[in-house]
Structure 1
Amino acid sequence: MDRIDAMRAFVTVVTEGSFTRAAERLNMSPQLVSKYVSRLEDHLGARLLNRTTRKIHLTEAGSRYAQRAQLVLDDIDDMDSQLTDLQQNAQGLLRISAPVSFATLHLAPLLCRFQRTHPAVSIDLQLNDRKVDIVEEGFDIALRIGHLKSSSMIAKLIAPVRLIMCAAPAYLEKHGTPSSPDELKNHRYLRYSYMEDNTGFSINEWLQPAGYQQTGDMLSNNGQILVSAAIEGAGIIIQPSFICGPAIAAGKLKVVLPQHEPEPMGLYAVYAHRKLLASKVRCFIDFMEGYFSNPPYWDNFD
């Protein structure tokens, strides 16, 4: 027996005053309504109604149970209504995980415009370059950059991301500008420590055909630091265009071997489920799609 259905049948009989009218309201047969009430009485071990051919009368137990049952059903209906609102109207707390540099440089305008469109949504943005566990850590969406491997997560491509090899003009003047991959072995490199784990791109594999030997390199888990170091002439970097693009446009960095640019990556919105997606998540994904355009504005340095 479904106790909620039985409880609703009993309360409806009480409020309507008969099994027939209760059946019409519940869109079921009078026999099924009567069966629900009888099974509820059997479950409780108490008579709730005294029935005559014309009327029904509440027992003392029935009167008490009807009051409490109505409160329970009202709470259930209210809970269902609130959940429906969450699904149909963008509201509530949206928890987002995003890469540090991308979020710092490009995410604030998007979030502000999204909230102007959906003012009932609050945002908790957490910046971290490691791969968070969306489900375990309670995130609605994770923004990730790279060549994503297959997984149980759903991934939506938001924008392409180019990887650019570049260095300061002063560095290239001093150490020479490579004209072919074979000449890369004579240079110093500024390396992003999460590059291979997060993006699937391995700078070591990319440089290996040139016979490169790692000497005097710099390693950091922050791309903006590496771009700043490259501007100071510390070496060559391979960084996403959304970080190094402004420095290239300003002439502070110069593209190296543009004809050998690595395969582009992607900016993805990753989330746990496609079905029964909360409206706040669905609206945010729809808002991001096309926001940065293709090619994105950060590639306007060529």
Structure 2
Amino acid sequence: MDKLRSMETFIAVVESGSFTGAATRLEISAVMVGKYIALLEAQLGTRLLERNTRRQSLTDAGRVYFEEARRVLEQVSIAERSVERLRLAPAGTLRISAPTSFGACVISPLAAGFLQTWPEVRIELDLTNRMVDLVDEGVDLAIRIGDIHQTDVVAKYLCPYRMAICASPDYLARYGTPRTPVDLVDHLCLSHTVWTARNEWKLPGVVGEVRWKRDAILRCNDGHGLRMAAVAGAGLLLQPEVLLAEELANGRLVRVLEGFTPEPRPIHLLWRQDLRPLPKLTQFVEHVLEGTLGLRGK
């Protein structure tokens, strides 16, 4: 028999004053009440109740056990209410892993809006380009760029990860505007340091793929630093659209070769295959899907 149920029965007997009263409160038979009490006393190796034909009273052990058991059941009740609260509405800590740039530009602002709507939630946002293990690292939600080959996760398509080639108006005035990938031979490029060993732009050309491999005039380990160099006229830059949105909108950078950018890669939301995901996760997924409608609709 369940020990917590036995404790609950014992407390009901003490508070109601009889087996019959406890049976009525717990909606079980008086015989079952007796079995729970007998089991509890056997497990503890001592009597908890002194019983005769007219009344029952607590033994010394019974008085001590009654106070402690009542505290235990109160803590169990608090724990159950806490879990129920998590299941009824978004609450608790939501751990998210996202690619560094996309996470900073897209997920972080969306997280801020979500927290305004659901103040009982706390978010831990880990920006990393490393592929995390959802189970081993306790991650609730991961955002991944590229195709998904895992079968032990739920994958929800979010939006395409589009790239853009751009340069400043000043640079284009000095070097001209490339019309096809073949024209890149006359241009300077900027590159992220993670691309040093493979600094090659693979672009769809008029008659097939064009590969432009050239030593970058400037390498930097930070995307923002590269954008500022491009704005200052240092060269052509190939970056994700979401990182370039502000500079493209205000004209500090201009798109070039719009028909020749690399194929977009898919971005997915990933989470574990729990039978009943908590509202903090399901509501955040819905919030992100709604907040990225513009990225899907382009």
> What TM bracket, shorter-length normalisation?
0.7 to 0.9
Quickly say closer, same or farther: Cα 1:263–1:33, change in 2 above 3 A.
farther
More displaced stretch, 228-237 vs 91-100: 91-100
Query: Does 1:206 find its partner at 2:202?
Result: yes
Which AA in structure 2 matches 1:150?
Answer: H
Query: Does 1:279 find its partner at 2:259?
Result: no
Match of 1:73 in 2: 73
Quickly say closer, same or farther: Cα 1:205–1:255, change in 2 above 3 A.
closer
Q: How far apart are 1:40 and its partner, in Å?
A: 1.5
In 2: Cα distance, 1:47 partner to 1:17 partner:
17
Match of 2:216 in 1: 216
Q: How far apart are 1:72 and its partner, in Å?
A: 0.9
Q: How does 1:80-229 map to 2 (within 5 A)?
A: 80-107=80-107, 109-142=109-142, 144=143, 146-151=145-150, 152-184=152-184, 187-192=187-192, 204=200, 206=202, 209-216=209-216, 218-229=218-229
Q: Deviation string for 1:147-198 (max 9, x for gaps)?
A: 1423344444444432112233444454454433444455443334568xxx
Match of 1:30 in 2: 30
Q: How far apart are 1:77 and its partner, in Å?
A: 0.9
Quickly say closer, same or farther: Cα 1:54–1:219, change in 2 above 3 A.
farther
Q: Secondary structure at the match of 1:212?
A: strand
Which AA in structure 2 matches 1:14?
Answer: V
In 1: Cα distance, 2:211 partner to 2:63 partner:
88
Q: How far apart are 1:111 and its partner, in Å?
A: 3.5
Quickly say closer, same or farther: Cα 1:20–1:191, change in 2 above 3 A.
farther
Match of 1:235 in 2: 235
In 1: Cα distance, 2:175 partner to 2:144 partner:
31
In 1: Cα distance, 2:274 partner to 2:181 partner:
43
Query: Does 1:40 find its partner at 2:40?
Result: yes
In 1: Cα distance, 2:263 partner to 2:28 partner:
62
Alignment check: 8 A CA contact 1:185 1:213 kept: no
The normalised TM-score by structure 1 is 0.78
Q: Secondary structure at the match of 2:191?
A: strand
Q: Deviation string for 1:111-160 (max 9, x for gaps)?
A: 44323322233344444444445555554434x35214233444444444
Gapped regions of structure 1 (runs ≥ 5): 196-201
Quickly say closer, same or farther: Cα 1:56–1:185, change in 2 above 3 A.
farther
More displaced stretch, 85-94 vs 238-247: 85-94
In 2: Cα distance, 1:174 partner to 1:111 partner:
42
Match of 1:199 in 2: none
Q: Secondary structure at the match of 2:238?
A: strand
In 2: Cα distance, 1:73 partner to 1:211 partner:
69
Q: Which of the two has greater strand per residue?
A: 2
Q: Deviation string for 1:5-34 (max 9, x for gaps)?
A: 222222222223333442343343433332
Q: How far apart are 1:206 and its partner, in Å?
A: 2.1
Quickly say closer, same or farther: Cα 1:205–1:5, change in 2 above 3 A.
farther
Q: Deviation string for 1:67-108 (max 9, x for gaps)?
A: 211111111111111222233233334444444444544456
Q: Secondary structure at the match of 1:50?
A: strand
Q: How far apart are 1:258 and its partner, in Å?
A: 1.9
The normalised TM-score by structure 2 is 0.79
Alignment check: 8 A CA contact 1:96 1:125 kept: yes
Q: Deviation string for 1:38-68 (max 9, x for gaps)?
A: 1221111112223445644333322221221
Match of 2:263 in 1: 263
Percent identity between the aligned chains?
34
Match of 1:291 in 2: 291
Alignment check: 8 A CA contact 2:203 2:261 kept: no
Aligned residues, how many? Answer: 291
Q: Secondary structure at the match of 2:90?
A: coil
Alignment check: 8 A CA contact 1:189 1:236 kept: yes
Alignment check: 8 A CA contact 1:165 1:237 kept: yes
Quickly say closer, same or farther: Cα 1:210–1:56, change in 2 above 3 A.
same
